[in-house]
Amino acid sequence: MDTRAAAAAVDHRPLSERAALNKEALKQSFLDNLFHTQGKFPALASKSDYYLALAYAVRERLLQRWISTAAEYMQKGARTVSYLSAEFLMGPHLGNNLINLGIYDEAKQAMTELGLNFDELLAQEEEPGLGNGGLGRLAACFIDSMATLEIPSLGYGIRYEFGIFHQSIVDGWQVEKTDKWLRYGNPWELQRPEWAVQVKLGGYTEHRSEEDGTLTVRWIPSRLVSGVPYDTPILGYRNNTANTLRLWSAQAPESFDFEVFNRGDYYGAVMQKMSSENLSKVLYPNDEHEGGKELRLEQQYFFVSCSLQDMIRIMQGQRLPLEHFHEKFAVQLNDTHPAIAVAELMRLLVDEHKMPWNRAWQVTCKTFAYTNHTLMPEALERWPLPLFKKVLPRHLEIIFEINARFLDEVRRRYPGDSARVARLSLIDESGPRYVRMAHLACVGSHAINGVAELHTELLKSDVLRDFYELWPNKFSNKTNGVTPRRWMVLANPRLTRLVSDSIGEDWIKHLDQLQKLEPLAESADFRSHWREIKRANKRALAEVIARRCNVAVDPDSMFDVQVKRIHEYKRQHLAALHIIALYLQLKAQPNLELAPRTFIFGGKAAPGYRMAKLMIKLITGIGDVVNRDPMVRDRLKVVFLPNFSVTNGQRIYPAADLSEQISTAGKEASGTGNMKFQMNGALTIGTMDGANIEIREVVGADNFFLFGLTTPQVYALQAQGYRPHDWYEQDPQLREVIDMIRDGYFSRGDASLFRPLVDSLLWHDPYFLFADFRSYVECQQRVGETWVDTERWTRMSILNSARSGKFSSDRSIRDYTKDIWHAPSVPVELLTEHHVRA
Ligand code: GPK
């Protein structure tokens, strides 16, 4: 059937009535869906039913764009970016889709007129938390920006049945609960069983020389798993583009367990089905990696193989020869989690599609590009050889072959330099052997990038130095960004209104336009509006805090916020030391003039990361003491807001006055929360680390609170022999703070509880808290002095926001397309409009 004819046939009524973007039509389809999809009437309907009815009404309005987009890309044979990521931390879809469709206010009106509380309906959505933190959220911001910039793209990942765990705080400790996000169904996805693919695992290989002299390899797997795609539309902002997020769910293949069943092994068949489905069961909850888990390698291979097979299917559907794979697809590897794609594409091209090795290798290298997200050595993925061979025997052979050819090239370039050969090898042979996934990604990619300027420089000079010396032209920097649609328009409607009333709406797609706010920083009237908005956002957050933490906080106090995964390198405990120092000051001088502050923390600890969990306990322990001490007289409050997530972030960033970005210099690759705070008018206290450096560069040194050692200073201190105990002895205030923790002041007298933390600091302090303590405390003193000058603070706040244009993910994506992907925009024509005009 002809696509346009088919669209025309279903369109007539749909465009004008069924999927129209106005209030009355929305009401109508909301009610239709309540009856016909949910099978409920108002007396029986739950809030979730109402949410789903609205979600389906909105989905109907997406489908036209989705179909039109697919048709446009197919017809144009458009070059497509495939973003491969083990994580997509999307956050709730409903509000974002309403914003991008441009019908947020209409939907709100419609629900209100039906007597429903719109915000309550939005809050019903269980957010798809299919990621851990920055890396997964970056993938979500990037697919938003690609759709907004009309770049044909597919996000490929895993449809985890359980996303990142739900965190609650019990007796000050983190407690994890499974995230049953699919419990009430997911209205945003469409299952596409017809595009399911088969993935092999385990087994062994057979090598045979054919009669014509060619060598063929057969991989005889021990298991087969079927990958079923679930598609979610990703809307661009107020355009006709709806790209696709395609997440793979693992299922037992019908035919495979049927065989076992026929042999009479019913339980064996059921077990096999369960073990297949395990593959996409749960997201590994470690930020920055925890090694050696077989299931994790299987997950990585599973989604990579599914995705590459899917791309081949798409090419075949468009009758494109596989020699042109790299022309049809630009494949971005989001960290090394999908790096096995290099070996898998080689296997598909060489073993399954009979392409000669050299040709296949050229195609492969032109296809892939690799983004590195961390300098932490323990986060660089390596797989023990025996485990790798057990799961992917054929891929190990392919990696050996890639390595042999690669190392030949290295030896030619650097004759006699065997140390360099060993350093560059895809196989770590210094002890027990490992496959180095970052090396596989580097060798198989034509482009390698870091995520902030400093990070990229450190990759070149340190972590990937040998690769940089070999191929300097492969390296470039792509500083991260975040989408202003979710992080300003959706999260901060009050600010959005003020900004749009002042400078128009262009800034939402061209964030540099926020510059136009700069002169308004000098208007007392504008500043007062700006403050009213911040104050309203803080009141809203204070209500959340009262509900979740049972602590009353004053919206007129400074909201000093640190939200991110809990990690020693991110140094939440440095902030804790400062709070204790302030507390001690208040105890010593009860009448001290101290502007009231509310310290707000949030973030999850990897369930197996004991020190991180102890850091949470320390923060809650400080809160228990400080919040109740009458001598403090409410001048300090400390809260740990449980379950930091995209949803909670949307409430927190707009309400922050001070953004804590205090990682040890050289450790945080970029940071992206830092950008969300800045956009929403928070001032930053931070180190010279990651994107902080670039934030400071755009806002100006006067509008940024800088402290701490620089990366070269950290390296120098490390080299000369850092002895934290000496710093402790030489700083009486630091000593008092540490002693108080050690002696059990924040653990009801239990002097053993925080011992591991205190001892680690005193004797190792791998992240240089003690070396940065004095500088941090003094910088916080300057923050306090600035805060009391309200007009000055507001001016700085406006300038921070006005100068945040660089940190839109639209800019990041433009950089990627210009330097790496070369994927032109393809504007989409709505099929129906075409028909209506014709
Ligand atoms: C980096 F290596 C990793 C990882 O496993 N998970 C993760 O979230 C983060 N990251 C970095 O820590 C951040 O500095 C960075 O902004 C973010 O990735 C996105 O690039």
Tokens describing residue 371: 């983004």
pLDDT single digits (tens) 140-183: 999 999 999 999 999 999 999 999 999 999 999 999 999 999 99
Q: What's the mean pLDDT in 495-519?
A: 98
pLDDT single digits (tens) 172-184: 999 999 999 999 9
DSSP-assigned letter for residue 816:
H
Same fold, 77-91+127-173+189-403+821-831 and 498-706+771-806: yes
Alpha carbon separation from 160 to 131, 141, 183, 408 (Å, rounded): 10, 19, 13, 41
Average pLDDT, rounded, for the chain: 95
pLDDT band at 262 (very low <50, low <70, confident <90, very high): low
Model ipTM value = 0.98
Residue 247 · residue 159 · CB < 8 Å: yes
Fold of the domain built from segment(s) 498-706+771-806: Rossmann fold (3.40.50)
Listed by start position, the domains of the chain span 77-91+127-173+189-403+821-831, 498-706+771-806
User: Can you tell me the distance from the alpha carbon of 762 to that of 722, in angstroms, rounded to the nearest whole number?
Assistant: 11
Q: Is the pTM of this model over 0.95?
A: yes
3-state secondary structure of 162: strand
Verify whether ligand 1 is closer than 6 Å to residue 133 (CB atom): yes
Indicate which residue's Cα is closest to atom 5 of ligand 1: 288
Burial of 84 (0-12, 13-18, 19+ CB in 10 A): buried
Share of the chain above pLDDT 70, in %: 96
Mutate which of 87, 287, 337 to test ligand 1's pocket (most atoms within 8 Å of Cβ)? 287
User: Can you tell me the distance from the alpha carbon of 738 to that of 490, in angstroms, rounded to the nearest whole number?
Assistant: 42
Q: From the alpha carbon of 668, which atom of ligand 1 is closest?
A: 14
Q: From the alpha carbon of 374, which atom of ligand 1 is closest?
A: 2
3-state secondary structure of 178: coil
Query: Which residues have CB under 8 Å from 689's CB, separation 6+?
Result: 454, 661, 663, 664, 665, 666, 667, 668, 671, 711
Mutate which of 373, 479, 609 to test ligand 1's pocket (most atoms within 8 Å of Cβ)? 373
**40 residue type, one letter:** K
User: Can you tell me the distance from the alpha carbon of 647 to that of 91, in angstroms, rounded to the nearest whole number?
Assistant: 6
Verify whether ligand 1 is closer than 6 Å to residue 135 (CB atom): yes
Catalytic residue among 223, 246, 337, 373: 373
* Res. 340: pLDDT tops 50: yes
pLDDT single digits (tens) 804-817: 999 999 999 999 99
User: Can you tell me the distance from the alpha carbon of 160 to that of 62, in angstroms, rounded to the nearest whole number?
Assistant: 24
Which pLDDT does position 275 carry in this prediction? 86
Residues belonging to the chain: 838
Alpha carbon separation from 813 to 145, 222, 373, 515 (Å, rounded): 7, 41, 16, 20
pLDDT band at 2 (very low <50, low <70, confident <90, very high): low
Check if CATH label 1.20.1070.10 holds for domain 77-91+127-173+189-403+821-831: no
Query: Which residues have CB under 8 Å from 251's CB, separation 6+?
Result: 196, 225, 226, 227, 228, 276, 277
Q: What's the mean pLDDT in 608-615?
A: 98
Which pLDDT does position 255 carry in this prediction? 61
Centroid of chain to Cα 567: 16
Which pLDDT does position 266 carry in this prediction? 84
CB atoms inside a 10 Å sphere around CB 195: 16
Verify whether ligand 1 is closer than 6 Å to residue 150 (CB atom): no
Tokens describing residue 732: 């009486």
User: Can you tell me the distance from the alpha carbon of 706 to that of 686, in angstroms, rounded to the nearest whole number?
Assistant: 5
Centroid of chain to Cα 607: 19
pLDDT band at 655 (very low <50, low <70, confident <90, very high): very high
564 catalytic? Reply is yes
Q: What's the mean pLDDT in 267-274?
A: 83
Q: What's the CA-to-centroid distance between 375 and ligand 1, angstroms?
A: 9
Verify whether ligand 1 is closer than 6 Å to residue 374 (CB atom): yes
CB atoms inside a 10 Å sphere around CB 540: 15
pLDDT single digits (tens) 271-292: 888 888 999 999 999 987 667 7
Verify whether ligand 1 is closer than 6 Å to residue 672 (CB atom): yes
Tell me which of 781 and 4 has the higher pLDDT: 781
Verify whether ligand 1 is closer than 6 Å to residue 477 (CB atom): no
Which pLDDT does position 836 carry in this prediction? 40
Three-state helix/strand/coil letters over 550-613: CCCCCCCCEEEEEECCCCCCCCHHHHHHHHHHHHHHHHHCCCCCCCCEEEEEECCCCCCCHHHH
Which pLDDT does position 260 carry in this prediction? 60
36 catalytic? Reply is no
Three-state helix/strand/coil letters over 88-109: EECCCCHHHHHHHHCCHHHHHH
* Res. 3: pLDDT tops 60: no
pLDDT band at 7 (very low <50, low <70, confident <90, very high): low
pLDDT band at 378 (very low <50, low <70, confident <90, very high): confident
